Amino acid sequence: MDVDKLFNLPKLSSSSLNKRKWSEPTAEALKAAKTSSTSTDASSALRDRDADGQQERLEPAGPSRPRATVADEGDDDNDQDAEFAPGNDANYFAEEDDEGGRFFGGGLSDQQKRILEIMNRGADDDEQRTLKPEVELANTRKQLLRFERAINKNQEMRVRFSDDPTKFIDSEADLDAELKGLVILTTNPGLFYPELVKIGSVTSMCGLLSHENVDISAAAIELIEELTDDDVLDAGEELRDDDDDDDEHEHEARAGAERKGQEGMRVLVDSLVDNQVLDLLVANLARFNDGPTSSDANREEVEGDMQGVYHTLGVLENLVSFRPELSAQLVQKTDYLKWTLDRISRKGPYDQNKGYAGELLAIVMQSNEENREKLGQMDGIDTLLSVLSQYRKRDPADDDETELMENLFDALCSCLSTTANKRRFLEGEGVELMVIIMKEKKLARLRSIKVLDHALQGAAGADNCERFVECLGLKTLFSAFMGKGSKKSSASSPTTEDTEHILSLLSSLFTNLASDSAHRIRLLSKFVEDSYAQTDRLLELRETFLARLEHVEAAIADEKRQLRDDEGVEIGDDEEEVFYLRRLESGLFCLQLVDYAVAWLCMEDDGVQAHIKMMLSRKGAGLQDVVAVLREYHANIGDDPPPKQGQDEPQEGEIRIKDILVALISFLEGCF
C-alpha cells in the first residue's frame, strides 16, 4: 500500500460537496420570470441567431425566459389579459380570488396547475398522492407525445414562415411550456426516465440545445440539469428516516425504489452521452453572452445568458459526478478546457460563473491524469499562476471569491502530480510567485505552502527544491513552521493539514537537496540557529502527534477486543488496513514526517544529534522510538509505480524513499 499517495492529492473545498444554486438577482426579476414564463405576449423578445452566429432582435418577440419588464398591474384596460396564459383559459381568472391584481391570482395554465397539484399534495392526502404506475406511465407518454408534437410544430412553422416571426411565435410558446412541464419527470426517475429514453425524447431534448432561439436552448439546458440532479435520487431519504416503525418489507420496497432510481438515472445519462450532449453543451457556451453588461439596455439579456452558462456548468457537474470517467471525455474531446481557462482569467470582479468554472475545473483535474497533462499542454499552469498572482497583494473580497481562490489552488496542486507540469511550473516562475505570496502573509499564504509541497515532491521536484532555496524561501517557510507572522484570523493560522504540508515540504527538501551542496547546508543551518530553536519545535510537534495518536490507538485496541471477544470476528488484513488508515489520519503520518526529518538531522550533524538525544531522554524516549516509527513507515510505504505514458522514465541512480529509510534506520541503530 502506497501511503504517500493517500495524502498527496488536494482536498476539494467544502462547496464541492454541495450543489450550487443560482442566486436570483432581485424579487422583481423573480416576479417577472413567474408571470412571463408561459406568456405568448407579442411584445416579448425573441432572439434568433443565424448560421453565421449573428444575433437579431425581432418585434414582436418570443415566449421563453423573461427579458422584458412585467406589465403594469394596475392597468385594467390591458387588452392582452385574455392571452396571458397559454390555452386562453378565460374561466380561470373568474374562479380565482384576484385580490391584489391578476398577477397574484396565479397566471398558470390548466396543465401547469395539474403539475403543481401532483407535486404539492400534502402528507394528509397520502393514500391518493400517488397514482398507479400504469396510470402514471400512460400520462407520461401523453405528455412526451405532446412535447414531440410541439417540437415538430415549431420546426414546421419556422420553415413555413421564416421571414415572419409573428407566425411561429405561438408554437415557440407551446414548446417552451412543454419543456418546463417535463420537470415533473423528476418525481419518479426509476419509472419515468426509461420511458423518456424509450420514446426518444432524450434525442429531441439534445436537439433543442442547438435551437435557433437561444432561450429555447437555455430552457432545454435547465430541464436537463433538473433531470440529472442527484437530489432527485435522495427524495425518499426524509421519509425513510422519519418512519422508524416501518416493517422490513417496506424498507426493502424503498431500497428497491432507490435501485430503480439509480438505474433510471444511469439509462438517462447513457442516452445523453450517446446523443453527444457534452459537445452540444460546450458548443452552447459560445452562444451565450457571458460578458459584463455595458448598459441597462441589454442588462436583462446578459443576465439571462449568464444564467444559461451557469445551468450549463450545472449539467456538466451532474454528469461528471454521476459518471466520473466522463471528465476525460469532457476535457479531451471538447473545447471545455479552453473556455474554462479563458473564463477564469477574464479581467473584472468576481461573478457566479467564474466561481462555478473554477470549482468544476478543480473537480475534473483531480479525477484524471490525462486531464492534468492536457491543461499543461494548453499553458494552463501559466494561466492559473497569472490568476492567482492577484492574491499576493490582496485578500478575496468575500467568501465566494475565497472559494474560487481555493479551487484554483486545488486545481494547480492536482496538476503538479505530473513531471511535465512540475517543469512548466518551474519555467513559469511558479516557485518565485508562491514564495512572494508566503512573504505577504495574506489569506493565500497557507495555500501557497500547499502548492509548494506538491511542486517539490518526488525526484521530479529536485529542481524546484533548489529554486526554492535560491528564492530565500527557507526564511519564510521556517517562520510558518515556528507559527510566526500569522494573522489573528483563524483563516491564516496553521491547521493540522497546513502543518502536514509544511512537514512534507521539509521532507522533500531533505530528500532532494544534494549532499554537501550549498542549498543543503543552508537548510541544515536553520535547525542550528537560535540554540536549536527549530529542532526543539520539531520535537515539540513530535510530542503533540504522539499524544493524539495514543488516544486513537487506545480506541482501536478496544474495538479489536470487542470484535474478537464479543462478536467473534477475526481481524484480517482488510481490517488492519482500515485501522492503519485511521491512525494515519489521526497523526501517524505527521509523526512519520517528523521522525524522517529527525533522522536526517541526526545523520547530518553531530551537534544536532546530541541535542535531540538529550531532549528525547527528558521525555523518557530515545532514538529507538524514532526507529520504531520509521520501521512501520518503511513497511507500509509502497514501491514507486512504473511511469505512465507521457511521463519521464526514472533517472539512473535515482534513490527511492524506501532505500533512504533503510539507510536512516541503519544509521540510527548504530547510535543507540
Q: Are 90 and 82 in contact (CB under 8 A)?
A: yes
Cell of 145: 407525445
User: 171 near 157, Cβ under 8 Å?
Assistant: yes
The pTM (predicted TM-score) of the whole model is 0.77
| pLDDT reported for residue 137 | 86
Chain segment 508-544, per-residue pLDDT in tens: 999 999 988 999 999 999 999 999 999 999 999 999 9
The answer to whether residues 311 and 290 touch, using CB atoms and an 8 Å cutoff, is: no
Q: Kindly report the CATH number that applies to the domain delimited by 14-27+324-526.
A: 1.25.10.10
- For residues 452 and 60, the model is more confident at 452
Q: What are 377-434's pLDDT values in tens digits? A: 999 999 999 999 999 999 999 999 999 999 999 999 999 999 999 999 999 999 999 9
In tens, the pLDDT along 543-598 reads 999 999 999 999 999 988 888 887 777 888 888 899 999 999 999 999 999 999 99
Residue-level pLDDT at 135: 83
pLDDT in tens, 195-236: 999 999 999 999 999 999 999 999 999 999 999 998 887 654
Share of the chain above pLDDT 90, in %: 57
What does the DSSP 8-state code read for residue 338?
H
Give how far Cα 659 sits from Cα of 143, 455, 631, 633, 653, Å: 68, 22, 12, 12, 12
Please give the single-letter amino acid code of residue 329: Q
Which regions of 41-159 does DSSP assign to beta strands (E)? Answer: 44-49, 55-61
Closest alpha carbon to 480 in 556, 534, 413, 406: 534
Distance of CA 442 to the CA centre of its chain: 24
Map residue 163 onto helix, strand or coil.
Answer: coil
Q: Return the H-helix or E-strand segment holding 192.
A: helix 189-199
- In this predicted structure, the answer to whether residue 654 has a pLDDT above a threshold of 60 is no
* 598: phi then psi, degrees, rounded to nearest 5: -60, -45
Residue 627: name the closest of 668, 655, 658, 593 by CA: 668
pLDDT in tens, 319-360: 999 999 999 999 999 999 999 999 999 988 899 999 999 999
pLDDT of residue 671: 82
pLDDT at 362 over 50: yes
pLDDT surpassing 60 at residue 7 = no
Helix or strand holding residue 449 (H, E): helix 445-456
**Which tens digit of pLDDT belongs to each residue from 95-123?**
444 444 434 445 566 666 666 665 565 44
Which pLDDT does position 83 carry in this prediction?
A: 40
pLDDT (average), residues 640-660: 57
Q: Is the pLDDT of residue 14 over 80?
A: no
CA distance 595 to 631: 11
Q: What is the pLDDT of residue 672?
A: 76
Query: pLDDT tens digits, residue range 144-190?
Result: 999 999 999 999 999 988 888 888 889 989 999 999 999 999 988 89
| 488 pLDDT more than 50 | no
Q: For cell 470484535, what's the residue?
A: 563
Place of cell 438517462: 268
Supply φ then ψ for residue 71, to 5 degrees.
-65, 155
Region 296-302 average pLDDT = 65
Q: Please say if the pLDDT value at position 64 is more than 60.
A: no
The pLDDT of residue 90 is 41
Query: Within the chain, which residue ranges are assigned CATH 1.25.10.10?
Result: 14-27+324-526, 134-323
Pick the CATH number of 134-323 from 2.40.50.320, 1.20.58.220, 3.30.420.140, 1.25.10.10: 1.25.10.10
**Residue 604 Cα to chain centre, angstroms:** 44
Specify the pLDDT at position 643: 47
Helix (H) / strand (E) element for 49: namely strand 44-49
Distance CA 258, CA 183 (A): 19
Cell of 466: 533548489
Q: Judge whether 230 and 19 are in contact, CB under 8 Å.
A: yes
